[in-house]
Amino acid sequence: MKNYEDKKNALLEHCDKTFHPHVDEVLVRLPHAVRNQVLNDPALKIISFDGEEYGGLFIDFGSPVKKLIILNETLLDKPEFYIVHVIAHEIAHKIRGVRETELYEMETEKLLCSWGFERESKAVRNIKAISESEGLRIGYEWANQNDLTNFQEFSDECKDGRLSSERLDELRRAADIFSILTQMDRVEDLITMHEDSFEKGIVWGIMHCLWQKKAKGVF
């Protein structure tokens, strides 16, 4: 175990410690051969970068580094399953090599599923549809102007990916989406409310705003 910890710490030497448990979650779930390939590659480092805090960043690795997995620290505002997916996905790129094609990305997701990350892969695919929905922007905009106290009880469950279908229904009722749209004079959007991704987009827009407020100590 000490050897594992030493290698993991070397891999994450220049990565914000908040990411360490998320990377550990990925590493312990990887197939044994893949985990060894990651930990035993001295030319690979996982680093993080806060683009809002720094205009630039200099790192002296002290040894030849040929491959970087760079994690944007804004990821820490995202749900646990999303962070895990991003890390696992980038490790898959390291294993397969990077090629920017839609087919390549699909094949990478299949590889993740074969490694045991099918739940995270499916959840992120669903989120992609939601994130492209106008509802996400509407929910975030509404939440930024209103009291989010009633939504705090759902916060940790959402962020950790533990929200059951029953609790999601409770969260949707708490959001009162019809009321949000009418309050914002978004009556034209009512015609799209039958679209599940639109409604979910509003809910997740609210939660994303709440997570950001909690990170800033507002709650």
**From residue 213, how far is each of 59, 81, 154 by CA, in Å?**
31, 20, 14
Residues of the domain holding 24: 2-128
Same domain membership, residue 203 and residue 180:
yes
Q: Are residues 80 and 110 in the same domain?
A: yes
Q: Give the model confidence (pLDDT) of 29-76 as tens digits.
A: 999 999 999 999 999 999 998 866 656 767 777 778 888 999 998 888
List of E strands, 26-176: 44-49, 67-72
Q: For residue 200, is pLDDT > 80?
A: yes
Q: 55 and 103, same structural domain? A: yes
Predicted structure pTM score: 0.65
Tell me how many domains the chain contains.
2
Regarding whether 149 and 207 lie in a shared domain, the answer is yes
Q: For residues 105 and 139, state if they share a domain.
A: no
Q: Which of 92, 95, 128, 132 lies closest to 112 in space, CA to CA?
A: 92
Mean pLDDT is lowest, of 25-34, 95-104, 144-153, for: 95-104
Band of residue 195 on the pLDDT scale cut at 50, 70, 90:
low
Pick from 97, 128, 159: which residue ends a domain? Answer: 128
Contact predicate 113/175, CB 8 Å? no
Pick from 80, 105, 128: which residue ends a domain? 128
Residues 170 and 102 in one domain: no
Residues 98 and 119 in one domain: yes
Q: What pLDDT does residue 214 have?
A: 86
Q: What is the pLDDT of residues 154-166, one digit of tens each?
A: 988 888 778 788 8
Same domain, 154 and 116: no
